[in-house]
Amino acid sequence: MNAMIVRASSKALTFLILLTGLAANLVGSPAWAAYTGSAWGANYFPNIELVTQDGKKVHLYDDLIKNKVFAINFIYTRCTESCPLESAALRNLQQALGDRMGKDVFFYSISIDGDRDNPAELKDYSAKFKAGPGWIFLTGRPEDVTLLRQKLGMYRDDGQAETSLSEHGISILMGNEKAGQWIKRSPFEETRALARVLGTRLLPNYVVPAVAHKEAIRAPAQSVGEKLFRSNCEACHSTGSEDGIGPGLAGVVGHRDRAWLKQWIKEPDQMIARKDPTAIALYQQYKQIPMPNFHLTDNDVESVIAFLEANESRIAKK
Protein backbone atom coordinates (compact mmCIF):
# COMPACT_ATOMS: atom_id res chain seq x y z
CA MET A 1 0.00 0.00 0.00
CA ASN A 2 2.83 2.41 0.81
CA ALA A 3 4.26 1.93 -2.65
CA MET A 4 0.80 2.56 -4.09
CA ILE A 5 0.53 5.86 -2.20
CA VAL A 6 3.94 7.01 -3.44
CA ARG A 7 3.15 6.09 -7.03
CA ALA A 8 -0.23 7.80 -6.98
CA SER A 9 0.92 10.94 -5.22
CA SER A 10 4.22 11.49 -7.00
CA LYS A 11 3.10 10.81 -10.55
CA ALA A 12 -0.54 11.90 -10.31
CA LEU A 13 -1.33 9.67 -13.28
CA THR A 14 -4.47 10.32 -15.29
CA PHE A 15 -6.32 7.35 -16.76
CA LEU A 16 -9.31 7.27 -19.01
CA ILE A 17 -11.32 4.17 -18.25
CA LEU A 18 -13.50 1.94 -20.33
CA LEU A 19 -15.79 0.35 -17.82
CA THR A 20 -14.49 -3.10 -18.61
CA GLY A 21 -11.43 -2.04 -16.64
CA LEU A 22 -9.14 -1.49 -19.66
CA ALA A 23 -7.38 1.85 -19.21
CA ALA A 24 -5.42 3.97 -21.66
CA ASN A 25 -2.60 6.33 -20.79
CA LEU A 26 -4.25 9.40 -22.34
CA VAL A 27 -3.22 12.22 -20.04
CA GLY A 28 -5.17 15.43 -20.71
CA SER A 29 -7.59 13.89 -23.20
CA PRO A 30 -11.36 14.44 -23.06
CA ALA A 31 -13.43 12.03 -21.00
CA TRP A 32 -14.33 8.86 -22.84
CA ALA A 33 -17.97 8.84 -23.90
CA ALA A 34 -20.08 5.74 -24.49
CA TYR A 35 -21.83 5.62 -27.85
CA THR A 36 -25.60 5.85 -28.09
CA GLY A 37 -27.17 2.54 -27.15
CA SER A 38 -23.98 1.46 -25.37
CA ALA A 39 -24.09 -1.53 -23.05
CA TRP A 40 -22.65 0.64 -20.29
CA GLY A 41 -25.96 1.92 -19.05
CA ALA A 42 -28.63 0.68 -16.68
CA ASN A 43 -27.99 -2.96 -17.59
CA TYR A 44 -24.27 -2.72 -16.94
CA PHE A 45 -24.22 -1.40 -13.39
CA PRO A 46 -25.15 -3.78 -10.58
CA ASN A 47 -28.10 -2.02 -8.94
CA ILE A 48 -26.89 -3.15 -5.53
CA GLU A 49 -28.46 -2.03 -2.28
CA LEU A 50 -26.31 0.24 -0.14
CA VAL A 51 -26.92 2.03 3.15
CA THR A 52 -25.95 5.67 3.75
CA GLN A 53 -24.30 7.11 6.85
CA ASP A 54 -27.81 8.18 7.89
CA GLY A 55 -29.14 4.62 7.67
CA LYS A 56 -31.13 5.17 4.46
CA LYS A 57 -31.29 2.27 1.99
CA VAL A 58 -30.52 3.22 -1.62
CA HIS A 59 -29.79 1.44 -4.89
CA LEU A 60 -26.63 2.22 -6.80
CA TYR A 61 -28.02 2.91 -10.25
CA ASP A 62 -31.56 4.06 -9.54
CA ASP A 63 -30.75 6.41 -6.66
CA LEU A 64 -27.12 7.42 -6.98
CA ILE A 65 -25.79 7.61 -10.52
CA LYS A 66 -28.74 7.72 -12.93
CA ASN A 67 -28.79 11.13 -14.65
CA LYS A 68 -26.13 12.51 -12.27
CA VAL A 69 -22.59 13.88 -12.40
CA PHE A 70 -20.62 12.19 -9.63
CA ALA A 71 -17.32 10.99 -8.20
CA ILE A 72 -16.91 7.54 -6.63
CA ASN A 73 -14.09 6.31 -4.43
CA PHE A 74 -13.64 3.35 -2.10
CA ILE A 75 -12.45 3.60 1.51
CA TYR A 76 -12.67 1.94 4.90
CA THR A 77 -12.78 3.80 8.18
CA ARG A 78 -9.95 1.89 9.90
CA CYS A 79 -7.54 2.72 7.07
CA THR A 80 -4.60 4.79 8.31
CA GLU A 81 -2.70 5.40 5.09
CA SER A 82 -4.38 6.13 1.76
CA CYS A 83 -8.02 6.64 2.85
CA PRO A 84 -7.46 9.72 5.03
CA LEU A 85 -5.53 11.30 2.15
CA GLU A 86 -8.26 10.48 -0.36
CA SER A 87 -10.93 11.85 1.95
CA ALA A 88 -8.92 15.01 2.61
CA ALA A 89 -8.50 15.51 -1.14
CA LEU A 90 -12.26 15.13 -1.64
CA ARG A 91 -12.88 17.65 1.14
CA ASN A 92 -10.72 20.18 -0.72
CA LEU A 93 -12.59 19.37 -3.93
CA GLN A 94 -15.91 19.80 -2.10
CA GLN A 95 -14.82 23.28 -1.03
CA ALA A 96 -13.74 24.15 -4.57
CA LEU A 97 -17.13 23.14 -6.02
CA GLY A 98 -19.02 25.18 -3.41
CA ASP A 99 -22.79 25.24 -3.69
CA ARG A 100 -22.72 23.01 -6.78
CA MET A 101 -22.28 20.09 -4.36
CA GLY A 102 -25.56 18.25 -3.87
CA LYS A 103 -27.11 20.04 -6.85
CA ASP A 104 -24.90 19.51 -9.89
CA VAL A 105 -22.29 17.14 -8.45
CA PHE A 106 -22.34 14.27 -5.93
CA PHE A 107 -19.59 12.34 -4.15
CA TYR A 108 -20.01 8.70 -3.13
CA SER A 109 -17.43 7.21 -0.75
CA ILE A 110 -18.18 3.49 -0.50
CA SER A 111 -16.75 1.27 2.22
CA ILE A 112 -14.98 -1.94 1.25
CA ASP A 113 -15.31 -3.12 4.87
CA GLY A 114 -19.04 -3.69 5.07
CA ASP A 115 -18.70 -6.17 7.92
CA ARG A 116 -17.41 -3.40 10.22
CA ASP A 117 -18.35 -0.07 8.68
CA ASN A 118 -21.94 0.42 9.77
CA PRO A 119 -23.81 3.74 9.30
CA ALA A 120 -22.70 5.04 12.70
CA GLU A 121 -19.03 4.43 11.86
CA LEU A 122 -19.47 6.16 8.51
CA LYS A 123 -21.29 9.11 10.06
CA ASP A 124 -18.45 9.64 12.51
CA TYR A 125 -15.89 9.35 9.71
CA SER A 126 -17.77 11.79 7.46
CA ALA A 127 -17.92 14.34 10.29
CA LYS A 128 -14.13 14.18 10.71
CA PHE A 129 -13.73 15.28 7.10
CA LYS A 130 -16.53 17.86 7.28
CA ALA A 131 -18.59 16.23 4.56
CA GLY A 132 -21.37 18.54 3.42
CA PRO A 133 -24.52 18.14 1.29
CA GLY A 134 -24.02 15.87 -1.68
CA TRP A 135 -21.15 13.87 -0.20
CA ILE A 136 -22.60 10.52 0.83
CA PHE A 137 -20.81 7.68 2.62
CA LEU A 138 -22.15 4.20 1.97
CA THR A 139 -21.78 0.64 3.13
CA GLY A 140 -23.11 -2.66 1.83
CA ARG A 141 -22.45 -6.37 1.56
CA PRO A 142 -18.74 -6.93 0.84
CA GLU A 143 -19.51 -9.24 -2.09
CA ASP A 144 -21.75 -6.59 -3.67
CA VAL A 145 -19.12 -3.88 -3.28
CA THR A 146 -16.46 -6.15 -4.75
CA LEU A 147 -18.68 -6.81 -7.77
CA LEU A 148 -19.15 -3.06 -8.21
CA ARG A 149 -15.42 -2.40 -8.04
CA GLN A 150 -14.80 -5.09 -10.63
CA LYS A 151 -17.42 -3.57 -12.94
CA LEU A 152 -15.89 -0.12 -12.56
CA GLY A 153 -12.33 -1.30 -13.16
CA MET A 154 -11.37 -0.38 -9.58
CA TYR A 155 -10.34 -3.85 -8.40
CA ARG A 156 -7.20 -5.83 -9.09
CA ASP A 157 -6.82 -6.40 -12.81
CA ASP A 158 -4.65 -9.52 -12.60
CA GLY A 159 -7.53 -11.87 -11.90
CA GLN A 160 -6.44 -12.45 -8.30
CA ALA A 161 -8.49 -11.74 -5.20
CA GLU A 162 -7.30 -9.09 -2.78
CA THR A 163 -5.89 -10.65 0.37
CA SER A 164 -6.28 -7.59 2.61
CA LEU A 165 -8.23 -4.35 2.71
CA SER A 166 -5.03 -2.34 2.32
CA GLU A 167 -4.61 -3.64 -1.24
CA HIS A 168 -7.48 -1.54 -2.55
CA GLY A 169 -6.63 0.87 -5.35
CA ILE A 170 -6.32 4.64 -4.97
CA SER A 171 -8.38 6.43 -7.58
CA ILE A 172 -11.56 8.41 -8.14
CA LEU A 173 -14.00 7.51 -10.89
CA MET A 174 -15.89 10.54 -12.15
CA GLY A 175 -18.81 10.29 -14.51
CA ASN A 176 -21.84 11.81 -16.15
CA GLU A 177 -24.20 8.85 -16.52
CA LYS A 178 -26.68 10.57 -18.81
CA ALA A 179 -23.99 11.81 -21.19
CA GLY A 180 -22.11 8.49 -21.02
CA GLN A 181 -18.84 10.18 -20.01
CA TRP A 182 -16.33 8.56 -17.63
CA ILE A 183 -12.86 9.40 -16.45
CA LYS A 184 -10.63 7.98 -13.71
CA ARG A 185 -8.17 10.25 -11.95
CA SER A 186 -5.75 10.24 -9.05
CA PRO A 187 -7.15 11.94 -5.92
CA PHE A 188 -3.73 13.54 -5.47
CA GLU A 189 -4.00 15.73 -8.54
CA GLU A 190 -4.35 19.46 -8.09
CA THR A 191 -7.76 20.35 -6.70
CA ARG A 192 -8.43 22.87 -9.46
CA ALA A 193 -7.81 20.24 -12.12
CA LEU A 194 -10.27 17.81 -10.52
CA ALA A 195 -12.84 20.60 -10.10
CA ARG A 196 -12.52 21.41 -13.81
CA VAL A 197 -13.25 17.80 -14.71
CA LEU A 198 -16.35 17.56 -12.53
CA GLY A 199 -17.59 21.09 -13.10
CA THR A 200 -16.84 21.46 -16.81
CA ARG A 201 -15.43 18.54 -18.76
CA LEU A 202 -18.13 16.09 -17.77
CA LEU A 203 -20.88 18.40 -18.96
CA PRO A 204 -22.54 17.33 -22.24
CA ASN A 205 -21.01 18.69 -25.44
CA TYR A 206 -17.83 19.90 -23.78
CA VAL A 207 -15.08 20.68 -26.28
CA VAL A 208 -11.43 20.86 -25.23
CA PRO A 209 -10.33 24.46 -25.93
CA ALA A 210 -7.33 24.86 -28.19
CA VAL A 211 -4.39 26.83 -26.81
CA ALA A 212 -1.70 28.26 -29.04
CA HIS A 213 1.79 27.06 -28.15
CA LYS A 214 3.04 30.60 -27.55
CA GLU A 215 0.18 31.18 -25.10
CA ALA A 216 0.87 28.08 -23.04
CA ILE A 217 1.98 28.87 -19.52
CA ARG A 218 5.03 27.05 -18.23
CA ALA A 219 4.56 25.74 -14.72
CA PRO A 220 7.11 27.19 -12.31
CA ALA A 221 9.92 24.87 -11.31
CA GLN A 222 9.41 23.17 -7.95
CA SER A 223 12.05 22.18 -5.43
CA VAL A 224 12.25 18.60 -4.21
CA GLY A 225 10.71 19.69 -0.91
CA GLU A 226 7.80 21.45 -2.60
CA LYS A 227 7.08 18.43 -4.78
CA LEU A 228 7.02 16.22 -1.69
CA PHE A 229 4.80 18.67 0.17
CA ARG A 230 2.34 19.09 -2.71
CA SER A 231 2.01 15.35 -3.28
CA ASN A 232 1.91 14.17 0.33
CA CYS A 233 1.01 16.99 2.72
CA GLU A 234 -1.10 19.57 0.92
CA ALA A 235 -4.36 17.62 1.09
CA CYS A 236 -4.42 18.13 4.87
CA HIS A 237 -2.18 21.12 5.58
CA SER A 238 -1.90 24.67 4.30
CA THR A 239 1.41 26.54 4.35
CA GLY A 240 -0.41 29.43 6.01
CA SER A 241 -2.20 29.71 9.33
CA GLU A 242 -5.49 28.22 8.10
CA ASP A 243 -6.32 24.81 9.51
CA GLY A 244 -7.56 22.08 7.22
CA ILE A 245 -7.83 18.45 8.20
CA GLY A 246 -4.57 19.14 10.05
CA PRO A 247 -3.01 22.35 11.36
CA GLY A 248 -1.78 25.18 9.17
CA LEU A 249 2.01 25.10 9.05
CA ALA A 250 2.89 28.80 9.14
CA GLY A 251 5.77 29.21 11.58
CA VAL A 252 5.99 25.49 12.36
CA VAL A 253 9.75 25.32 11.76
CA GLY A 254 10.35 28.14 14.17
CA HIS A 255 8.15 27.04 17.06
CA ARG A 256 8.75 23.28 16.97
CA ASP A 257 11.93 21.61 18.12
CA ARG A 258 13.69 20.66 14.88
CA ALA A 259 14.58 17.12 16.00
CA TRP A 260 10.97 16.54 17.05
CA LEU A 261 9.64 17.96 13.77
CA LYS A 262 11.90 15.72 11.70
CA GLN A 263 10.80 12.67 13.63
CA TRP A 264 7.11 13.65 13.35
CA ILE A 265 7.30 14.10 9.58
CA LYS A 266 9.18 10.82 9.15
CA GLU A 267 7.30 8.46 11.48
CA PRO A 268 4.10 9.96 12.93
CA ASP A 269 2.54 6.54 13.46
CA GLN A 270 5.45 5.39 15.64
CA MET A 271 5.33 8.59 17.68
CA ILE A 272 1.63 8.03 18.35
CA ALA A 273 2.37 4.42 19.30
CA ARG A 274 5.06 5.61 21.72
CA LYS A 275 2.54 8.13 23.15
CA ASP A 276 4.69 11.15 22.54
CA PRO A 277 2.80 13.89 24.44
CA THR A 278 2.86 16.49 21.65
CA ALA A 279 1.94 13.92 19.00
CA ILE A 280 -0.97 12.65 21.11
CA ALA A 281 -2.18 16.21 21.71
CA LEU A 282 -2.22 16.91 17.95
CA TYR A 283 -3.93 13.59 17.24
CA GLN A 284 -6.68 14.39 19.75
CA GLN A 285 -7.05 18.01 18.63
CA TYR A 286 -7.55 17.06 14.98
CA LYS A 287 -10.29 14.46 15.47
CA GLN A 288 -7.98 11.45 15.73
CA ILE A 289 -7.31 11.42 12.00
CA PRO A 290 -3.94 9.65 11.67
CA MET A 291 -1.14 11.36 9.81
CA PRO A 292 0.14 8.74 7.34
CA ASN A 293 3.69 7.46 7.36
CA PHE A 294 4.96 8.20 3.84
CA HIS A 295 8.21 6.34 4.46
CA LEU A 296 10.28 9.39 3.61
CA THR A 297 14.04 9.27 3.79
CA ASP A 298 16.04 11.60 6.04
CA ASN A 299 16.92 13.63 2.95
CA ASP A 300 13.23 13.83 1.99
CA VAL A 301 12.36 15.15 5.45
CA GLU A 302 15.11 17.76 5.27
CA SER A 303 13.81 18.83 1.85
CA VAL A 304 10.27 19.29 3.17
CA ILE A 305 11.53 21.35 6.12
CA ALA A 306 13.69 23.44 3.76
CA PHE A 307 10.59 24.17 1.65
CA LEU A 308 8.63 25.23 4.75
CA GLU A 309 11.52 27.46 5.86
CA ALA A 310 11.75 29.09 2.44
CA ASN A 311 8.00 29.66 2.44
CA GLU A 312 8.19 31.31 5.86
CA SER A 313 11.01 33.58 4.62
CA ARG A 314 8.91 34.67 1.63
CA ILE A 315 5.98 35.48 3.90
CA ALA A 316 8.21 37.45 6.29
CA LYS A 317 9.54 39.62 3.42
CA LYS A 318 6.06 40.66 2.27
DSSP characters for 133-164? Answer: TTEEEEE--HHHHHHHHHHTT-S-SSSPPPSS
Q: CATH 1.10.760.10 residue ranges in the chain?
A: 224-317
CB 126 within 8 A of CB 135: yes
pTM of the model: 0.71
- pLDDT tens digit sequence for 252-262: 998 899 999 99
Query: Would you tell me which CATH number, out of the four given (3.40.50.150, 3.20.20.70, 1.10.760.10, 3.40.50.300), belongs to the domain 224-317?
Result: 1.10.760.10
Q: How confident is the model at residue 146 (pLDDT cuts 50, 70, 90)?
A: very high
Query: Would you tell me which CATH number, out of the four given (3.50.50.60, 3.20.20.480, 3.40.630.10, 3.40.30.10), belongs to the domain 2-201?
Result: 3.40.30.10
Reference 187, options 77, 106, 87; nearest CA is: 87
Q: If you average pLDDT over each of 97-111, 171-185, 237-251, which comes out highest?
A: 97-111
318 has a pLDDT exceeding 80: no
- pLDDT tens digit sequence for 207-246: 444 445 454 455 567 899 888 888 888 878 888 888 888 8
CB atoms within 10 A of CB 44: 14
Cα 223 to chain centroid, rounded? 23
Reference 186, options 1, 3, 16; nearest CA is: 16
